[in-house]
Amino acid sequence: MDRDLSLIGAGPAGLTAALQLMRYGIKPLIFEQADICGLLDNAGWIENYPGFPEGIRGSDLKMLFQKQFMAYEPDLIRARVRKLLFYQEQELFSIETEDRHYQSRQVVIASGTRPKKIPEIETWPEELNKHVFYEIRTLLSEKNKKMIIVGGGDIAADYALHLSRDNQVVLLCRGSQLRALPLLRKRIEMRPDIRIVYGMRFESAGPGIERPMAVDISYEGGRA
């Protein structure tokens, strides 16, 4: 058997569990398919994390998480868990990655959430899909680009506030108002450079007449 305890996911939840376990001298086998920190490093500014009264950038918190975590010399397996089975008779879990199987008596699953995909976009041609992102960590160094953010919740608002510092941002919202926290809504309203379009609906995407690729979008009172 490889380990008594294994942990799937090294986002904030998995890291918190791992740190506490390691402090008790229990070293779980930790599986992480991507960067340590999960979704949180997409966050522009985190204001609800105790200990940072002024708030902290998601990417900075990620560095601190990593530093604290790596100090324990964790047993980290950088791989995606693609199957998890429980063998009742042996009371054992089998954890399957691309390369091999691991066995563990107990498993903590902290695999988090995934951004919800927009079905219309999934059918777009590959050429267009190359310009679609569900997380912004790869866009943080972009400057002077025109960006469309689809959504009206907290994450869309956070992305808009963050990316509009160096880029031209349009926020496309399906509803008739933003659903983000009042605090974030207020900040967006104070930023006339962030254009918000309400009642948005994708019509089609594909080769345009004037441009090789185009997306048709209709919204309350117009189309683009």
Answer for which of 10, 95, 188, 196 binds ligand FAD (CB under 6 A) is: 10
Which residue of 5, 7, 29, 110 would you call a contact of ligand FAD, by CB under 6 A? 110
Shortest distance, CB of residue 21 to ligand FAD, whole angstroms?
15
Closer to ligand FAD by Cβ: residue 76 or 213 = 76
Q: Which of 80, 95, 75, 100 is nearest to 9 (CA)?
A: 80
Q: Answer yes or no whether residue 48 interacts with ligand FAD by CB under 6 A.
A: yes
78 vs 130, beta carbon nearer ligand FAD: 78
Backbone angles phi, psi at 72, to 5 degrees: -85, 5
Q: Quick one: angle between helices 154-163 and 182-189, nearest 10? A: 30
Site string for ligand FAD, 52-91 (x = CB under 6 A): ----------------------------xx----------
CA-closest candidate to residue 201, choices 166, 167, 173, 171: 173
CA distance 216 to 222: 11
Is-contact 218 203, C-beta < 8 A?
A: yes
Of 6 and 124, nearer to ligand FAD (C-beta) is: 6
CA distance 179 to 193: 19
Interaction between residue 31 and ligand FAD (CB under 6 A):
yes
- Residues belonging to the chain: 224
- Footprint of ligand FAD (CB under 6 A): 8-14, 31-34, 38-40, 42-43, 46, 48, 80-81, 110-113, 155, 158-159
